[in-house]
Structure 1
Amino acid sequence: MTHDDRRRGDRRGDRGRRPHDRDRRRPRDTDPRRVALGVLEEVEAHDAYANLLLPARLAEADLSPRDRAFATELVYGTIRWQRLYDELIGRAARRDPDRLARRVRWILRLGAHQTLHMRVPGHAAVNETVRLARQTREDRAAGLVNAVMHRLVDRDPADWDAELRRDLPADRYLSVRWSHPEWIVRALRRALAADGRLPGDDARELEALLAADDAAPVVNLVALPGIADRDTIPGAESGTVSPFGALLAHGDPADVCGHGVRVQDAGSQVAALALAAAPGDVPATASAATAADRDATAPGSAADQTCGATASERWIDVCAGPGGKTALLAALAARRQPDASVAANEPVPHRAQLVRDALAEAGFADVPVAEGDGVTALAAGEWDRALIDAPCTGLGALRRRPESRWRKTPADLATLTGLQRRLLDAAVAGAHPGALIAYITCSPHVAETRRQIEGVLERHPGALEVLDTAAVLADAGVDLAAAAAGTGFAPVGTGAPGLQLWPHVHGTDAMFISLLRRRA
């Protein structure tokens, strides 16, 4: 879960219109390029997110299914590749692209995307881009747009790439070629190395990861076990990572969701399964008592006589929004430990409501959702298994949230890693012997993953045991080797005190999962 999940773009309202204007219907746009341009301008101007804004704009437009798909690719693709496009536009325009008017820059980016990454013929890309400039009151820039687009299409992409490779230092070349900020390129290189994946100076896997971030992801679905069957989802095929995951290559996920079927990345599914499948070592007295009650379980006491009985475990998801993992945990608990209780905590009210909605749709409306602080919830100790899906930079989900790569900065790390550290320390403080902790981030950054686990082990020497997450998941039916088949890369890394998933290896978001057990 990331802070990006907690933000919403501004929407235009009726403020400033005369009363009778509200009754006039705005003509519905029939041009997918113009729709895409409007979305891109709003994303930049209002710090909005395309996945929230685009569906609303498509609903307002009068587009065929084909044109809706065209507009969607224009929006997401142009955002992903804008670093590359700005570099090429600057070279073709022979000026700094930042000096161009904002709308002209977006128009040229849209044109570059059509000619470089879509199957739009060069002459059509030029003509349509110039037409878009004229239709959007950029007549004076039409000549410049025409000249730049002609220079872009007149050269083969391989020639542009050779020029970039020759002119730019190594990291800047990778940043431009794969359209990532340089600091993210360096962070991903370090993360791969920490996972034992970069021997010597081999950059092949780094480029594969960057390329995976730039590929449009297939929609991942989850069929909640005991509620839905992934084999009966219309138009979907079974995924290779999650035993209850499915892939929807075509169609609208809204047409198949509901009744236990949700959109959820396979990496997120596997993270919830890891906690549910981890072997328990929880005394019955610990599961049945609160922290205060456990003080009364001295040898010879009545409570002590129940040791060895089957535990009714308490599971908690402390950073639960928007609720996908909580719903899956509830379904897994119902199958694996019918006597287990599940609870959720989400400090942001509107996200807490999303958790309640997700649970209600899945038939688990009785699962309580608190709106307190996650640190407080963990320190209270009223749990046997805790899922900490810690707020993070979200560098593992760049393919799904393309704007994030341009909005995150290294400065964000200080706040996020501090919160992650507090969550882990609270979990250790609240955990009774045998309690299980799943620490998860949707980021491979070493400061948010490996170093956090190393740090909590150092701060609490002897208090925690690190479980073999890959082995736990293998026992639960997760075949990482099958997921990595054909990629040429190892299914499991060698360096992290947990399991690091990768989009270029497993087809998931880059989720990090570490399982910890509290020792006596």
Structure 2
Amino acid sequence: MSHPPRRGRRPNDPRRGRASGPSGGRPPQVDPARQVAAELLAAVRADDAYANLKLPELLAAHGLSGRDAALATELSYGTSRTKGQLDAILSACSTRPLDSIDPPVLDALRLGAYQLLRTRIPPHAAVSATVDLVRAGGRPGAAGFVNALLRKVSAHDLDGWLAELAPASDDDPTGHLALTTAHPSWIVDAIGDALGPRRDELADALAADNQSPAVHLVARPGRIARDELTAESGGTPARYSPYGLYLPAGNPGALAAVADGRAAVQDEGSQLVALTLAEAPLDGSDERWLDLAAGPGGKAGLLGALAARRGATVDAVEISPHRADLVRRTVSGLPVTVHTADGRDPGLPAGSYDRVLLDAPCTGLGALRRRPEARWRRQPADVAELTRLQRDLLQSAAGLVRPGGLIGYVTCSPHLVETAAVLNRRPKDLEIVDATELVPGNPAADAPLDGPVPGTVQLWPHRHGTDAMFLALLRRS
């Protein structure tokens, strides 16, 4: 969690460094938490690594736990999340364009600026530790440059820099929110458009993206009762999902129930959209279910557990062999058959499924709080390619579901092009079923649930505490 900037020294702070000169005549002393954060930034930049997947690997490799692991997580996630904002401030302080700075040095500058502007680490310690990180790396000669530049950054706190650099809200509301909330402008506009008549919630929605979310667990029905999982984990029952709970802290993988597959890590919004499809009223047979884009398997695992209790079976389709293997491990022991195939043409019997879940590949704008680097990795040009894939997959789902059967079209994105626009071009024999009253736990009683098309559902982090999941329930006529 980020803390407001605070100047001055904290007594007995174990992170306090020495004088912040570029060398001080001493060998560099690299703090292991900062080293992990630097390696994480390098992996994201150079290898397109996913921060939430790479960080546990780095923490284990360096043997970090407790406070050191927490600091590494805060610095790596926070720096990744606010990169654009940090770059604006660094650019204002630098005599060189940022794109001319060696990438590892720029990573270190971002780490240092984040510590100065968004943590309670004393300025001299933040600068000194960053200089040591550079001196110990491949560009030791850049230490003086880094020292001088970070001293300029430390001249103001974050509010001071934003007051100086952000455009006035009245003149450029998008630009103002983009810099002050550390989002690209196109994402600010996309989320504002998705909020529609409730655009006055935009600042709250963007702020929610910058909050570290709690870990959500799901107790797989028939395998472990939620009360039992609550007792084992020390968590608290979720507000809406009858199988969900919130884990306050700790490593969920260390729980026996998670390790043996009785429970899993799954955002409550992800649970709700799968449960809504599985529990929606259906005429006729209800024996064959399909998850058409199943990787990495969270929803397939929940559907499989529900199907086992109702005498149904699930086919799960995943195009990536690696992700298909992840699905197989996730659904082990459940009545789920995994197919490594393209969901656009999976080779399955047409018109044979009673319920079809299509959790379509998307921009992921609804899960920015869980994927800190995603907002800077995605580009507006990505949207068109993804929506073509979404329409093709929905066309495939329409051919696989039986007449009278149900499709749950889901995206972890509120972007209107991925939600309303795809529905507006759906196959003509798919009619929208009003799902707003079918979501378990009735989240609409707490905050508006209506999506951009009548009858559809849009969850929000700032309203419901879930990822911004979209659901359209469709019946084949």
TM-score, structure 1 as length reference: 0.80
Q: Distance in 1 between matches of 2:65 and 2:414?
A: 39
Indicate how the Cα distance of structure 1 residues 450 and 312 shifts in structure 2: closer, same or farther if over 3 A, else same: closer
1:146 shift after superposition = 2.1
Q: Distance in 2 between matches of 1:121 and 1:480?
A: 44
Larger Rg: 1
Report the identity percentage.
Answer: 48
Partner of 1:357: 329
Q: Distance in 1 between matches of 2:252 and 2:184?
A: 31
Map 1:12-411 to 2 at 5 A: 31-166=32-167, 169-193=172-196, 196-198=197-199, 202=200, 205-230=201-226, 231-256=230-255, 257-258=258-259, 259-282=261-284, 311-335=285-309, 338-360=310-332, 363-364=333-334, 366-377=335-346, 380-411=350-381
SS of the equivalent of 1:233 reads helix
Indicate how the Cα distance of structure 1 residues 374 and 353 shifts in structure 2: closer, same or farther if over 3 A, else same: same
Please tell me whether the aligned partners of residues 297 and 330 of structure 2 are also in contact (alpha carbons under 8 angstroms).
Answer: yes
SS of the equivalent of 1:375 reads coil
Partner of 1:468: 434
SS of the equivalent of 2:403 reads coil
Residue identity matched to 1:465: E
Partner of 1:429: 399
* 1:444-486 deviations in Å (ceiling 9; x for gaps): 1111101111221xx51xx33312212011xx4343434xxxx
SS of the equivalent of 2:436 reads helix
Structure 2: stretches of 5+ with no match in the other structure: 1-29
* 1:226-274 deviations in Å (ceiling 9; x for gaps): 2123322322112213221111121111112234110111111111101
CA RMSD of aligned residues (A): 2.1
1:493 shift after superposition = 3.2
Residue identity matched to 1:65: G
1:182 shift after superposition = 1.7
The count of corresponding residues between Structure 1 and Structure 2 is 438
Please tell me whether the aligned partners of residues 162 and 179 of structure 2 are also in contact (alpha carbons under 8 angstroms).
Answer: no
Indicate how the Cα distance of structure 1 residues 468 and 46 shifts in structure 2: closer, same or farther if over 3 A, else same: same
Please tell me whether the aligned partners of residues 343 and 368 of structure 1 are also in contact (alpha carbons under 8 angstroms).
Answer: yes
1:100 shift after superposition = 2.1
1:30 shift after superposition = 5.9
Please tell me whether the aligned partners of residues 351 and 403 of structure 2 are also in contact (alpha carbons under 8 angstroms).
Answer: no
Map 1:437-452 to 2 at 5 A: 437-452=407-422
SS of the equivalent of 1:316 reads strand
Map 1:479-498 to 2 at 5 A: 479-482=443-446, 490-493=447-450, 495-497=452-454, 498=456
* 1:367-403 deviations in Å (ceiling 9; x for gaps): 2111222233477121011001111111111221222
SS of the equivalent of 2:369 reads coil
Q: Is 391-400 or 225-234 further displaced after alignment?
A: 225-234
Please tell me whether the aligned partners of residues 430 and 475 of structure 2 are also in contact (alpha carbons under 8 angstroms).
Answer: yes
Q: Distance in 1 between matches of 2:132 and 2:58?
A: 21
Please tell me whether the aligned partners of residues 438 and 513 of structure 1 are also in contact (alpha carbons under 8 angstroms).
Answer: yes
Residue identity matched to 2:345: T
* 1:195-219 deviations in Å (ceiling 9; x for gaps): x322xxx4xx212111111222211
Please tell me whether the aligned partners of residues 443 and 449 of structure 2 are also in contact (alpha carbons under 8 angstroms).
Answer: no
Quick check: 1:500 aligned with 2:454?
no
1:86 shift after superposition = 0.5
1:494 shift after superposition = 5.9
Indicate how the Cα distance of structure 1 residues 266 and 380 shifts in structure 2: closer, same or farther if over 3 A, else same: same
Structure 1: stretches of 5+ with no match in the other structure: 1-28, 283-310, 483-489
SS of the equivalent of 1:444 reads coil
Q: Distance in 2 between matches of 1:274 and 1:442?
A: 15
SS of the equivalent of 1:388 reads strand
Partner of 1:9: none
